[in-house]
Chains A and B, each alone.
Chain A
Amino acid sequence: KNQVEQSPQSLIILEGKNCTLQCNYTVSPFSNLRWYKQDTGRGPVSLTIMTFSENTKSNGRYTATLDADTKQSSLHITASQLSDSASYICVVSDRGSTLGRLYFGRGTQLTVWP
Protein backbone atom coordinates (compact mmCIF):
# COMPACT_ATOMS: atom_id res chain seq x y z
CA LYS A 1 0.00 0.00 0.00
CA ASN A 2 1.37 3.40 -0.97
CA GLN A 3 1.79 5.53 2.11
CA VAL A 4 3.52 8.65 3.36
CA GLU A 5 4.37 8.86 7.05
CA GLN A 6 5.62 12.02 8.73
CA SER A 7 7.25 12.60 12.08
CA PRO A 8 7.00 14.15 14.50
CA GLN A 9 3.27 14.83 14.46
CA SER A 10 3.91 18.15 16.19
CA LEU A 11 6.94 20.14 17.23
CA ILE A 12 7.52 23.24 19.33
CA ILE A 13 10.78 25.15 19.03
CA LEU A 14 12.10 28.54 20.09
CA GLU A 15 12.63 31.29 17.58
CA GLY A 16 16.09 31.18 16.04
CA LYS A 17 16.54 27.44 16.55
CA ASN A 18 16.89 24.85 13.80
CA CYS A 19 14.67 21.83 13.31
CA THR A 20 14.32 18.81 11.05
CA LEU A 21 11.10 17.17 9.93
CA GLN A 22 11.00 13.60 8.62
CA CYS A 23 9.07 11.88 5.86
CA ASN A 24 9.11 8.16 5.05
CA TYR A 25 7.24 6.81 2.07
CA THR A 26 6.42 3.52 0.41
CA VAL A 27 5.11 4.98 -2.85
CA SER A 28 6.21 3.05 -5.92
CA PRO A 29 7.06 3.71 -8.67
CA PHE A 30 8.43 6.97 -7.37
CA SER A 31 8.27 10.13 -9.44
CA ASN A 32 8.96 13.09 -7.17
CA LEU A 33 8.59 14.38 -3.63
CA ARG A 34 7.38 17.77 -2.56
CA TRP A 35 7.28 19.61 0.71
CA TYR A 36 4.37 21.98 1.20
CA LYS A 37 3.80 24.59 3.90
CA GLN A 38 0.22 25.09 5.03
CA ASP A 39 -0.57 28.06 7.22
CA THR A 40 -3.63 27.79 9.43
CA GLY A 41 -6.76 28.41 7.41
CA ARG A 42 -4.88 28.54 4.12
CA GLY A 43 -4.10 26.18 1.28
CA PRO A 44 -0.72 24.43 1.01
CA VAL A 45 2.12 26.25 -0.74
CA SER A 46 4.94 24.35 -2.44
CA LEU A 47 8.40 24.77 -0.85
CA THR A 48 10.56 22.28 -2.74
CA ILE A 49 10.29 19.50 -5.29
CA MET A 50 12.83 16.71 -5.79
CA THR A 51 13.03 13.98 -8.38
CA PHE A 52 14.74 10.62 -8.07
CA SER A 53 18.18 11.92 -8.96
CA GLU A 54 18.18 14.90 -6.61
CA ASN A 55 19.56 14.51 -3.10
CA THR A 56 19.08 18.01 -1.75
CA LYS A 57 17.17 21.14 -2.63
CA SER A 58 17.19 24.49 -0.85
CA ASN A 59 14.68 27.31 -0.76
CA GLY A 60 15.96 30.06 1.48
CA ARG A 61 16.08 28.74 5.05
CA TYR A 62 14.41 25.49 3.98
CA THR A 63 16.58 22.57 2.86
CA ALA A 64 15.06 19.30 1.77
CA THR A 65 16.96 16.04 1.37
CA LEU A 66 15.96 12.86 -0.38
CA ASP A 67 17.32 9.33 -0.06
CA ALA A 68 15.50 7.36 -2.74
CA ASP A 69 17.15 4.12 -1.66
CA THR A 70 15.76 4.24 1.87
CA LYS A 71 12.67 6.19 0.76
CA GLN A 72 13.23 8.92 3.26
CA SER A 73 13.16 12.68 3.05
CA SER A 74 13.79 15.44 5.54
CA LEU A 75 13.05 19.14 5.68
CA HIS A 76 15.52 21.21 7.65
CA ILE A 77 14.55 24.69 8.76
CA THR A 78 17.39 26.99 9.75
CA ALA A 79 17.11 29.93 12.14
CA SER A 80 13.38 29.52 12.62
CA GLN A 81 11.06 32.52 12.61
CA LEU A 82 7.62 33.00 14.07
CA SER A 83 6.22 32.93 10.54
CA ASP A 84 7.47 29.37 10.14
CA SER A 85 4.65 28.22 12.41
CA ALA A 86 2.55 26.05 10.10
CA SER A 87 1.87 22.49 9.05
CA TYR A 88 4.52 20.99 6.76
CA ILE A 89 3.20 18.35 4.43
CA CYS A 90 5.22 15.77 2.53
CA VAL A 91 3.67 14.79 -0.81
CA VAL A 92 4.92 11.95 -3.00
CA SER A 93 3.92 11.43 -6.62
CA ASP A 94 3.98 8.13 -8.46
CA ARG A 95 4.57 7.40 -12.11
CA GLY A 96 1.93 4.70 -12.25
CA SER A 97 -0.80 6.70 -13.88
CA THR A 98 -1.38 9.62 -16.17
CA LEU A 99 -2.83 11.50 -13.21
CA GLY A 100 0.52 11.45 -11.44
CA ARG A 101 -1.19 10.35 -8.30
CA LEU A 102 -0.28 12.34 -5.19
CA TYR A 103 0.07 10.74 -1.78
CA PHE A 104 -0.16 13.16 1.13
CA GLY A 105 1.29 12.82 4.59
CA ARG A 106 -0.68 14.10 7.57
CA GLY A 107 1.83 16.85 8.13
CA THR A 108 4.00 18.01 11.02
CA GLN A 109 2.52 20.89 12.97
CA LEU A 110 5.39 23.25 13.78
CA THR A 111 5.00 25.98 16.38
CA VAL A 112 7.74 28.56 16.80
CA TRP A 113 7.69 30.41 20.11
CA PRO A 114 9.35 33.78 20.73
Chain B
Amino acid sequence: EADIYQTPRYLVIGTGKKITLECSQTMGHDKMYWYQQDPGMELHLIHYSYGVNSTEKGDLSSESTVSRIRTEHFPLTLESARPSHTSQYLCASSESQTPRRGETQYFGPGTRLLVL
Protein backbone atom coordinates (compact mmCIF):
# COMPACT_ATOMS: atom_id res chain seq x y z
CA GLU B 1 0.00 0.00 0.00
CA ALA B 2 1.47 3.31 -1.10
CA ASP B 3 1.69 6.21 1.33
CA ILE B 4 0.15 8.82 -0.90
CA TYR B 5 -2.96 10.69 0.10
CA GLN B 6 -5.48 12.90 -1.61
CA THR B 7 -8.16 15.15 -0.18
CA PRO B 8 -10.95 15.62 -0.63
CA ARG B 9 -12.02 12.26 -2.05
CA TYR B 10 -15.23 13.78 -3.45
CA LEU B 11 -16.07 17.41 -4.18
CA VAL B 12 -19.21 19.00 -5.57
CA ILE B 13 -18.84 22.70 -6.25
CA GLY B 14 -20.48 25.49 -8.18
CA THR B 15 -19.16 27.15 -11.32
CA GLY B 16 -16.66 29.94 -10.72
CA LYS B 17 -15.42 28.73 -7.37
CA LYS B 18 -11.73 28.38 -6.60
CA ILE B 19 -10.69 24.91 -5.46
CA THR B 20 -7.49 23.24 -4.34
CA LEU B 21 -6.99 19.49 -4.51
CA GLU B 22 -4.47 18.27 -1.98
CA CYS B 23 -1.87 15.55 -2.52
CA SER B 24 0.80 14.44 -0.11
CA GLN B 25 3.20 11.51 0.07
CA THR B 26 5.39 10.27 2.88
CA MET B 27 7.76 8.16 0.79
CA GLY B 28 10.24 10.96 0.15
CA HIS B 29 9.76 10.70 -3.61
CA ASP B 30 11.18 13.53 -5.68
CA LYS B 31 8.82 13.13 -8.61
CA MET B 32 5.12 13.82 -8.42
CA TYR B 33 2.36 13.87 -11.02
CA TRP B 34 -1.24 14.90 -11.57
CA TYR B 35 -3.44 12.95 -13.95
CA GLN B 36 -6.99 13.52 -15.15
CA GLN B 37 -9.16 10.48 -15.86
CA ASP B 38 -12.67 10.40 -17.29
CA PRO B 39 -14.80 7.23 -16.98
CA GLY B 40 -13.64 4.49 -19.33
CA MET B 41 -10.82 6.63 -20.64
CA GLU B 42 -7.06 6.60 -20.24
CA LEU B 43 -5.18 8.72 -17.74
CA HIS B 44 -3.88 12.01 -19.08
CA LEU B 45 -0.88 13.74 -17.52
CA ILE B 46 -1.67 17.38 -16.71
CA HIS B 47 1.23 18.39 -14.43
CA TYR B 48 4.45 16.94 -13.05
CA SER B 49 7.29 17.93 -10.79
CA TYR B 50 10.85 16.67 -10.46
CA GLY B 51 11.34 18.22 -7.04
CA VAL B 52 10.88 21.30 -4.92
CA ASN B 53 10.25 24.46 -6.96
CA SER B 54 10.05 22.38 -10.16
CA THR B 55 6.73 22.14 -12.03
CA GLU B 56 5.92 21.39 -15.65
CA LYS B 57 2.77 21.09 -17.72
CA GLY B 58 1.89 17.66 -19.01
CA ASP B 59 0.41 16.45 -22.26
CA LEU B 60 -3.18 17.47 -21.67
CA SER B 61 -3.86 21.17 -21.62
CA SER B 62 -5.29 22.14 -18.27
CA GLU B 63 -6.44 25.39 -16.74
CA SER B 64 -5.20 24.21 -13.37
CA THR B 65 -1.96 25.23 -11.70
CA VAL B 66 0.32 23.40 -9.28
CA SER B 67 3.02 24.24 -6.77
CA ARG B 68 5.81 22.26 -5.11
CA ILE B 69 7.07 24.12 -2.08
CA ARG B 70 7.71 20.97 -0.06
CA THR B 71 8.84 17.55 -1.27
CA GLU B 72 5.85 15.78 0.20
CA HIS B 73 3.16 18.18 -0.97
CA PHE B 74 1.87 18.82 -4.51
CA PRO B 75 -1.46 20.71 -4.53
CA LEU B 76 -3.47 21.41 -7.66
CA THR B 77 -5.56 24.58 -7.93
CA LEU B 78 -8.41 25.60 -10.20
CA GLU B 79 -8.95 29.36 -9.97
CA SER B 80 -12.45 29.24 -11.47
CA ALA B 81 -14.10 25.86 -11.74
CA ARG B 82 -16.27 25.04 -14.76
CA PRO B 83 -18.48 22.03 -15.59
CA SER B 84 -15.85 20.93 -18.12
CA HIS B 85 -13.49 20.36 -15.18
CA THR B 86 -15.71 17.56 -13.91
CA SER B 87 -13.47 14.51 -13.79
CA GLN B 88 -11.36 12.30 -11.56
CA TYR B 89 -7.97 13.70 -10.60
CA LEU B 90 -5.24 11.25 -9.62
CA CYS B 91 -1.97 12.19 -7.93
CA ALA B 92 1.09 9.95 -8.18
CA SER B 93 4.70 9.91 -7.08
CA SER B 94 7.82 7.97 -8.01
CA GLU B 95 11.47 7.69 -7.14
CA SER B 96 14.27 7.52 -9.66
CA GLN B 97 15.49 4.05 -10.56
CA THR B 98 17.79 2.77 -13.28
CA PRO B 99 16.90 4.13 -16.71
CA ARG B 100 16.32 0.60 -18.03
CA ARG B 101 14.09 -0.40 -15.17
CA GLY B 102 12.06 2.73 -15.20
CA GLU B 103 10.04 4.08 -12.35
CA THR B 104 6.96 2.71 -10.71
CA GLN B 105 4.41 5.38 -10.02
CA TYR B 106 2.38 5.06 -6.87
CA PHE B 107 -1.09 6.53 -7.12
CA GLY B 108 -3.31 8.16 -4.57
CA PRO B 109 -7.00 7.23 -4.27
CA GLY B 110 -8.10 10.14 -6.45
CA THR B 111 -10.45 13.08 -6.09
CA ARG B 112 -13.78 12.93 -7.92
CA LEU B 113 -14.76 16.48 -8.85
CA LEU B 114 -18.23 17.53 -9.96
CA VAL B 115 -18.71 21.13 -11.03
CA LEU B 116 -22.32 22.22 -11.31
Contact = CB atoms under 8 A, between A and B. Distances in A.
Q: How large is the interface on B (under 10, 10 to 19, 20 to 34, 35 or more residues)?
A: 20 to 34
Given A43-B92, A104-B42, A104-B43, A49 B104 contact: yes
B102 A93 contact: yes
A24 interface: no
A51 B99 CA distance: 11
Q: Which applies to chain A's interface (DSSP): helix, strand, loop or mixed?
A: strand
A31 B100 contact: yes
B112 interface: yes
A100 interface: yes
Given A34-B104, A51-B100, A100-B102, A105 B109 contact: no
Interface string A66-101: 000000000000000000000001000101000110
A45 B110 contact: no
A106 interface: yes
A57 B107 CA distance: 22
A106 B92 contact: no
Given A41-B110, A102-B105, A95 B99 contact: yes
Interface string B31-43: 0000000001111
Interface in A25-79: 31-32, 34, 41-46, 49, 51
A76 B111 CA distance: 30
Interface string B83-97: 000000011100000
Interface of B: 2, 4, 9, 40-45, 48, 90-92, 99-110, 112
10 contacts: A9-B40, A31-B102, A41-B9, A42-B110, A43-B110, A89-B42, A95-B99, A100-B103, A104-B42, A104-B44
